[in-house]
Chain A
Amino acid sequence: MSLGFTRRGWLFGSLGSAAWAAVASAQEHAHRTAAGATAAEFKFFNESEAAEVAAIVEQILPSDDGPGAKEAGIVYFIDRALTTFDTSLQPAYRKGLSEVQDVRRKMFPESTSIASLPQDRQLELVRAIEKTEFFETVRTHTLLGFLGNPSYGGNRDKVGWKHIGFEMRMAWAPPFGYYDAEPK
């Protein structure tokens, strides 16, 4: 089996805490949300927290040469995660956000929020926190939201999958790639 992934990947698993029921409920909720015509409501974040988290995740996956965290709906994905399968991480978000605000006030005393900082200063701020446990958690959630199943509320219009060249299908036939299609 997969040793390389095992070693690093189980850290991946260690963030997850909920039972399958919660996952099912997250999916159902996300399906309903995705089906609705109006903007999704947040269950965990208030509006300003959501804007602050959005500013951070949009630095992790910027919308430079194509859809990023913003278009994928990452902040909605994280809100769902924190109210369904990762409820145990709620305190980490509240505490982490407040610590990032402390860093922001130190770096940019005149500023009022992360979201209102100019792009280059947001980038500087994220660089300043990139070694923290909170950033690691946000990064994990951002990538899960970008490349996980769209049924969880992220990866909208499969923008993450399209970006990396992945296509979800139930069946494929050979040749699968360039090198197995080459004549022997």
Chain B
Amino acid sequence: MTGPQFKPSDAVDFLVIGAGAAGGVVAKELSTAGFHVVVLEQGPYLREGDYSHDEIKYEYQPGLTNDPQVQPITYRKNENEPAKAMKAIEYGRQVGGGSVHFTANYWRFHESDFHERSLFGDVPGSSFADWPITYADLEPWYTKAEYDLGISGLAGANPFEAPRSKPYPLPPMPVKSSGALFDRGAKKLGLHPFPAPVAILSQPYQGRPACVHCGFCESFGCEMRAKSSTLVSVIPVAEQTGRCEIRPNSYVRQIVTDPRGRATGAFYFDARRREVFQHAKAVVLCANGVESAKLLLLSKLANSSGLVGKNLMWDNGSFATALFEHPLNEYKSIQVTRLIHDHYRADPKRGFYGGGGIDARFQFYPASFALYGLPPDAPRWGAEYKKMLGEYFTRSMSLLAHSTSLPMERNTVTLDPDVKDAWGLPAVRITHDHHPDDIATMKWLLEREYELFDAMGAKKVWAEPVEAFDTNRHLMGTCRMGLDPKRSVVNQYSQSHDVRNLFVVDGSNFVTSARQQPTATIQALAYRAADYMGRAAKSGELG
């Protein structure tokens, strides 16, 4: 920790809650613009030296994510069911947040994502709507994010991609065997495979080394600092300004407002669970699509629309795995090197709303492979099972379709009335069930995956049946962005309609889910919002 230390009694210019994908960006932008910033992060401050290639620690244990033993979560399909304790949602819980342990897929939205409701029409049973901003509004900020953070990719390689003002700052990562096979099969089907844009350095960049292809990206922190998390990219820049303090192990329980309805700071528990109040002139909530909603509900703030916590969208997709003749050795290098966006666009002719992107990937680390990687008809133990492990591990790969999740007001984050966390705060209660169109989309994409594997020359293909499921990592929609204060929680700059000096910037702002992979858009929104915050603070509009 190299930044300054502020006193809780100092009213800093901005108090940022959450040091993840969005919070790290906001902290850097505001501190480099001259503002004093304190960032409260509920998780620890880990460094590359703290990470390791330990599957038991990072996959079997909560690792870099929320621990339900300490912060229980309850889940139910609908409000008529009792909620049961389970890890229904998962998020990164350390300085850098989910940008530390994510796969690092870094997709911009398509132009159509921002006005898809107008293009496609209403979808009954959903609250499908247009965004209050366009792709053109966000494009400069996508570009800024790609250059600030360090993204590898090949501009123009995806024929469906929206216009870009600049190419990627770094060339794409080298193709793996999964990508080479995918290239071949997709082209045979007349599709358009392209190198995956990823938040991983293909070459040295801004003092950080290039990826060394160790193979431990998803669920793991990068020991090389080659994954472009906010932890290793923008947060050090923020600290070096001397105006930004990152305060880890600081768990916020309430944002406070004064009689004029202006935010004045937040109460939090420090590492020793002592309560502290940090004063601030403005508050920026970047705690993720579940925790931000929880905190607003706990604070009874910014909810005149009644929409805080509603429209929670889900991490939808379909997943298939296949065996090939020769070793692919997918455990080497990054997870994804090729994908397609040919099925991205929703087409009314399919008879349902939805679409997705399909990537070719490594999915199972060794123990996970033994537990979940073999076909459902394989033996689960014994001599034949052991033999299959030996044959399949190096010779298999997966396809993952990332697909739409329709917003619905009945899918919510609420406070559990009965269950408390280790600090005595109400547990998050998730209520979620899938829209039938989301299930239809996943089934349709799974059929495309079978076609692809066939064209790739797979010896055997298998998948779990598509059905509703109860776990979610892409936390979107619970503080919806919009121009009408009655129908949204924040405006087009992620500013609360109700509390002028309170901002909410993270996946909660999303009006639609696009095709998952939310990180690029979360960060572009954060750059754009931080720019607005700085201008508004300087002109006195937040006072």
Contact = CB atoms under 8 A, between A and B. Distances in A.
A18 B394 CA distance: 31
Given A9-B59, A14-B86, A164-B393, A177 B103 contact: no
A15 interface: yes
Contact of A16 (B61, B179, B332, B380): B61
Main secondary structure of the interface of B (DSSP, over half): loop
A163 interface: yes
A179 B177 contact: yes
B214 A140 contact: no
Given A64-B383, A172-B333, A177-B330, A164 B366 contact: yes
Contacts of A106: none
24 contacts: A1-B105, A3-B400, A4-B463, A6-B473, A7-B464, A7-B471, A9-B59, A19-B69, A23-B57, A60-B381, A61-B386, A62-B383, A64-B386, A139-B380, A139-B381, A144-B60, A164-B370, A166-B331, A170-B214, A176-B177, A176-B328, A176-B332, A177-B326, A179-B178
B139 interface: no
Contacts of B316: 3
Nearest to B472: A6
Interface in A107-162: 123, 126, 130, 139-140, 143-144, 146-149, 151-152, 160-161
B5 interface: no
Contacts of B330: 176-177
A178 B326 contact: yes
B386 A68 contact: yes
Contacts of A43: none
Determine which residue in A18, A143, A164, A179 has the highest number of CB atoms from chain B within 10 A of its CB, and name it.
Answer: A179
B87 interface: yes
Contacts of B471: 6-7, 10
Contacts of B386: 61-62, 64-65, 68, 163
Contacts of B321: 4
A16 B368 CA distance: 14
Contacts of A61: 381, 386
Q: Which 8 A-B pairs have the closest CB atoms?
A: A4-B319, A177-B177, A178-B326, A171-B212, A179-B177, A164-B393, A147-B366, A3-B317
A130 B324 contact: no
Contacts of B86: 14
Contacts of A62: 382-383, 386
Interface of B: 53-57, 59-62, 67, 69, 86-87, 90, 102-103, 105, 174-181, 212-215, 218, 223, 315-321, 324, 326-333, 361, 363-364, 366-372, 380-383, 385-387, 389-390, 393-394, 398, 400, 402, 463-464, 469, 471-474, 516
Interface centre among B105, B214, B472 (most CB of A within 10 A): B214
A13 interface: yes
Given A59-B382, A130-B380, A174 B56 contact: no
Given A23-B57, A179-B328, A164 B177 contact: no
A165 interface: yes
Given A1-B315, A5-B372, A179-B326, A10 B87 contact: yes
Nearest to A152: B56
Contacts of B90: 6, 10
B213 A172 contact: yes
B328 A2 contact: no
Interface of A: 1-10, 12-20, 23, 27, 59-62, 64-65, 68, 85, 123, 126, 130, 139-140, 143-144, 146-149, 151-152, 160-161, 163-166, 168-182
B215 A177 contact: no
A61 B367 CA distance: 13
A12 B368 contact: yes
Contact of B215 (A85, A172, A181): A172
Contacts of A166: 331, 366, 393-394
Contact of A12 (B57, B328, B371): B371
Given A148-B367, A152-B56, A177-B330, A7 B390 contact: no
A178 B471 CA distance: 35
A1 B57 contact: no
A180 B103 CA distance: 21
Nearest to A15: B60
A12 to B, nearest CB: 6
Contacts of A177: 176-177, 326-330, 332, 394
A4 B464 contact: yes
A178 B328 contact: yes
A118 to B, nearest CB: 16
A144 B61 CA distance: 12
Contacts of B61: 13, 16, 18, 20, 23, 85
A165 B394 contact: yes
Nearest to A140: B371
B438 to A, nearest CB: 12
Given A4-B363, A20-B61, A178-B327, 5 more contacts: A2-B218, A64-B383, A147-B369, A171-B212, A172-B213
A13 B471 CA distance: 12
B490 to A, nearest CB: 25
B394 A180 contact: no
B71 to A, nearest CB: 13
Nearest to B328: A177
A144 B54 CA distance: 11
B54 A1 contact: no
Contacts of B87: 10, 13-14
A137 to B, nearest CB: 12
A16 B62 contact: yes
